[in-house]
Amino acid sequence: MPSIFSYQSAEVDWCESNFERSTVIAEYYNTISNVSFFVLSPALLYLNRQYRQHRALPLYFVSGLLFCVGIFSMYFHMTLSYMGQLLDELSILWTLAVAYSFWYPKVYFPRFIKSRKHFFWLSGVTTVISTLMSFIKPAFNAYALNCIAFHLLYLTWRELKKVHRMAAVMVVWWVLAISSWISDRWLCGLWQAINFPYFHSFWHVLIAMSLLYCCPLVIYFDVNYEMPSFKPKLGYWPGDSWPVVVPYVALEQPHKQC
Ligand SMILES: CCCCCCCC/C=C\CCCCCCCC(=O)N[C@@H](CO)[C@H](O)/C=C/CCCCCCCCCCCCC
Ligand SMILES: [Ca+2]
Ligand SMILES: [Zn+2]
C-alpha cells in the first residue's frame, strides 16, 4: 500500500501531464504558478498598511495563511500526494474560517449569535467538523470550497452600491478563475488533444488576482461596520488614472463637529 506521502497517491490528478518538464516536479506549471500567492500575501500587507496599523491581527493572520496556501498547493502539485491534497484543501478551509471569523459583518450574524466571540466559536466548531469530514472524500472537498465563493458573491451583491468598481473587477477575475478550474477538471481530454493542459495554472494566478480585490473589499466593510471612528476610503495603486490598478483601503478620520 503506498504511503500518504508517496508521489501520485492523491485522489485527483490535474490535466497537466506529469513529470514532463522535471523528474521531481509532477506538474511543473501548476507548481510554479503558486508564486502568485507569494506576491499576493505581502501585497495585501503593504497596500493596506493604514488598516494594518489598527487591525494588525486579522491582516497578518489571513495573509500569512494565504502564503501557507501557496506553499501547500506547491507541495501538492509537485508530488500529487494524498498528504499534499489534504494540506492544500485544509489550508484553504482554515484560511476561509479565519477570514470569516474576523471579517464577517456583525449585521449578517445569525440571530442566535450575540457577539463576535460566539461567532468565533461557531466558526471554530464548524471548521473542526468540516476538517474531520474532509477525510471521507477529499476529491469532493474542492467543490464544497468553491461553493463558498457563491456566499461571498451574495454578500457582495447586497453591498454592491458602495464599492461597485472593485466588486465588478473581483467578480470578473473570479468568473475567469472558476471557468479555468472547471475546464481543467471537466474538459481535460479536449485540452490534452490540443496540447494545452494549463488551465489549473491559470486558476492559481486568477484566483490570487480575485483575492487581491476581495480582501480590500472585506476590509472596507470591516472599517465601515466595526471601526466607527474611521471612514474607509478606497485608494488605487499605483494611481487613480492608471489603466490597471490595485485597490487598497485608506482610513480617514471624519472631522469632529464642535
Ligand atoms: C467575510 C469573508 C472574507 C473572505 C476572504 C477571502 C479569504 C480567502 C481564503 C482562501 C482562498 C484561497 C483559494 C486558493 C486556492 C489555491 C490552491 C488550489 O488551487 N487548490 C486546488 C487544488 O490545487 C483546489 O482544487 C481548489 C479548491 C477551491 C478553493 C476555492 C476557495 C474559495 C475561494 C473564494 C474566493 C473569493 C473570490 C471572490 C468570489 C466572488
Ligand atoms: Ca496531471
Ligand atoms: Zn492547484
Q: Nine-digit cell at 175?
A: 468568473
Beta carbon of 76 within 6 Å of any ligand 1 atom: yes
C-alpha radius of gyration, the chain, whole number: 20
pLDDT score for 239: 86
Domain 28-252 sits in CATH at 1.20.1070
Tens digits of residue pLDDT in 78-90:
999 999 999 999 9
Q: Assess whether pLDDT exceeds 50 at residue 24.
A: yes
Residue nearest to atom 30 of ligand 1 (CA): 146
pLDDT band at 255 (very low <50, low <70, confident <90, very high): low
End-to-end CA distance of the chain: 76
What pTM does this model have?
0.90
Average pLDDT of 178-192? 97
ipTM: 0.95
Atom number of ligand 1 nearest to Cα 96: 9
The residue whose grid cell reads 489534504 is 86
Average pLDDT of 208-217? 95
Q: Nine-digit cell at 222?
A: 470591516
What whole-number distance in Å separates Cα of residue 92 and Cα of residue 80? 17
Residue nearest to atom 5 of ligand 1 (CA): 99
